[in-house]
Amino acid sequence: MLGANAAPKDPTTLPVVLTMLNFASVDPMEMRKQLASIAKQLGGQNRANSVLFLLGGGSDRVNAPSMLKTIYEAAAAQGLDPRFLTAAFFGEVDWSQFDPKHLDSFDFVGMDRFLKEFDAMLKDGTIRPGFEHQFKRENLGATGETGESYKQRAKFNDLDGEIRAFAALLKHRRVLMLADLADAHVKESDLTADELDYWNYVYYNGGSSPEAGDRLGTGKKHLIDERIKKSGPSAAKIPSQFIQPPGDGGKGALGQAMGNAQRVLAIKRLIQWAGMVDPSDPSTQKLKFVSNVLKPLSAMSTSK
């Protein structure tokens, strides 16, 4: 029996360990086959941004256990599926820009409007008072993907803070999306989990709407105006047709929100297949590729 002063058990420990083991034991050939199969259903989007390699501990550039722990904690705090949060983050991160001493909201991770929507996130509770100590404001003269101008960006103290900020912005856009659906008399339960995540990311990547303070935002236009108002909830199905080339359409090209959302959903489905644990689903809390884990041991025993 634990003593009265024993430290509480960290609920992220088992998910982190199992997820890392599962990712690290994925057979590369099987992974490529699975991603190709997933891509056929999602417009050919077959770029996973090294998610299994990095979170499986395959590189010393990132601290995979720490990163996964933060993802699980941030997802729980925002009520998001950790696999969706992981996929969305890896859909926005540019690892070529990774510098632990300069973790910004513009070049490293695409969260351009974080500062512009900070007060709104405080208001809806996705960001808590005091979070402003997790970053500094830097002057910036740049234009974002939608053509909006930015005078400042956030520079985060550490990767932990940036992941939590990203999760908050993702959830904030989900709040706006759900409000738009409610105004159109559509319930959250009318959409599947994948459909909700897909459109959540469309709202994230393409912005929300002018009515929500995002002058160039197109999320509401795509979901509500072009689909729900014309055909009802069934029109929220995820497009399977080709929208743009894999990735963001090529070097220097600006991807479309709906094509980028296909890529994020492809990553989500890949990491589900690869055994990323969902703490709310006990059936996922297991070693997925036991035979792959045992192969090295088997080879050692037969070589004696």
- Model confidence over 31-59: pLDDT tens digits? 999 999 999 999 999 999 999 999 999 99
- Model confidence over 258-272: pLDDT tens digits? 999 999 999 999 999
Mean pLDDT on 225-251: 87
The answer to whether 203 touches 174, Cβ cutoff 8 Å, is: yes
On the CB side of 279, CA atoms within 13 Å amount to 21
d(CA 158, CA 145): 25
pLDDT at 291 over 70: no
pLDDT of amino acid 1: 43
pLDDT at 177 over 50: yes
Per the listing, tokens 């722990």 go with 69
What are 49's two structure tokens?
Answer: 């941004």
3-state secondary structure at position 153: strand
- Model confidence over 207-222: pLDDT tens digits? 999 999 999 999 999 9
pLDDT of amino acid 248: 58
Domain ranges of the chain: 13-293
Q: What is the DSSP string of 174-189?
A: HHHHHHHHHHTT--GG
d(CA 191, CA 202): 15
- Model confidence over 54-105: pLDDT tens digits? 999 999 999 999 999 999 999 999 999 999 999 999 999 999 999 999 999 9
What's the whole-number average pLDDT of the chain?
Answer: 92
- Model confidence over 151-173: pLDDT tens digits? 999 999 999 999 999 999 999 99
